[in-house]
Structure 1
């Protein structure tokens, strides 16, 4: 089983990955990205939707939304949150390498560095090809990740975070394969014991690398930005956002 398929990883790290402030910020980011992409209505896919950070506000805005994720724990939270907001969303538990619906969507989101998890480069390319195939002609694909340029400027071998409840997440990082991959060793502890430890790695991409991959996957145009409002991308950008058009 791959690291991202392990439910305990998402259950135990959830307070760090999806604090309420991050969930609340998603609606503001969604509005900015919709303006950047030029969409006010249509069929939307949130690929690797997690707990529905983007899917739920998009549905509330009137979009027809499908949320896909491989993690049942996160989908259960998404379904519960959607029920509280009384919005209808199609939730699907599936591997992003296998999910493809030809010509079904106007807009597809892949947010929060949810790309590059697969060891085999061809698997990551398969994801991009699936996305391109699932878009209608002229549809848009919005992807957000941590760019290699930004990571290089802020990289620390050890970082840590602590919640108000006293959970401490210690993260050790190591760059591998000539700055192509990052190896991670996460240790979660409280005052009394070790709650979990996970070792995993994923690809890291520069703006040029991800742009070339998107073009190779069949997209006709790729724009690169440094935030949801459309600021230019550079090494000081908090995020690497690509806006790609299906050819």
Structure 2
């Protein structure tokens, strides 16, 4: 099987089962902010369903029909109400504003061109109610690690998982870094002992460097009002693992 990694929603959920500090952070922030919630790139609802389970009016937008179908199934299974919408985060119009908008788990980095990022930020701004906040997390690029992306296929033991139907699944990744485009281009391979490479899926992720981020946000009509280096809210630093950004309308 080939196609995008997001065409295999159940495998994605087995590899990334959800939970953890990111869910806690977004749940707590939504609680402090109050009101309605919009998640862009919501995937299978890892982050959004726990927010909706607390009774908040939640909307999730994603480009992948497969991921949305799994999100609907999971929400229905839990008896949680969420409005799911298929759309492109670069340019969308839901006809209303929200009190809290977020993009989690590097989903923003599927936008490779600066113009696409700016267009996304402009769309977000149009959907922010007065006093609303827009929060997202992306990894903080490590130049040494990017340079080490040499195209060699390597195992990712931390991502291996057990599929109830197939058994133990090994995950391997081969990546190269396109410095001119700031994009890591990879192929993810899923294998079992009896079924090698039953999925080979491409995945391309942009790097957004700390210096360019405030400018991109400004061009999109947003203002960066806080940037943190981890889920505990420590100040952002050069060696921080992620950029956790809090924004408002400019």
When normalised by structure 1's length, the TM-score is: 0.84
Mapped to 2, the partners of 1:100 and 1:129 lie a distance apart of 11
Q: CA deviation at 1:213?
A: 0.9
Q: Is 2:80 the partner of 1:87?
A: yes
Is the Cα–Cα contact under 8 Å of residues 220 and 245 in structure 1 kept in the other structure?
yes
Distance 1:102 1:206, change over 3 A: farther
SS in 2 for 1:112: coil
Equivalence for 2:216: 213
Kindly report structure 1 stretches of 4+ aligned residues shifted beyond 6 Å. none
Is the Cα–Cα contact under 8 Å of residues 67 and 89 in structure 1 kept in the other structure?
yes
Q: CA deviation at 1:28?
A: 1.8
SS in 1 for 2:108: coil
Pairs aligned (count):
236
Q: CA deviation at 1:208?
A: 2.4
Q: 1:113 aligns with which of 106, 131, 137?
A: 106
Equivalence for 2:161: 163
In the alignment, structure 2 segments of 5+ residues that lack a partner are none
RMSD, aligned α-carbons = 2.5
When normalised by structure 2's length, the TM-score is: 0.83
Q: CA deviation at 1:6?
A: 5.8
- How do 1:28-47 residues align onto structure 2 when only pairs under 5 Å count? 28-34=24-30, 38-39=32-33, 41-47=34-40
In the alignment, structure 1 segments of 5+ residues that lack a partner are none
Deviations 1:176-234 (A, max 9, x none): 12582212122221112221212342310122222221121111343211123321122
Q: 1:197 aligns with which of 196, 200, 210?
A: 200
SS in 2 for 1:166: strand
Is the Cα–Cα contact under 8 Å of residues 5 and 71 in structure 1 kept in the other structure?
no
Equivalence for 1:67: 60
SS in 2 for 1:208: coil
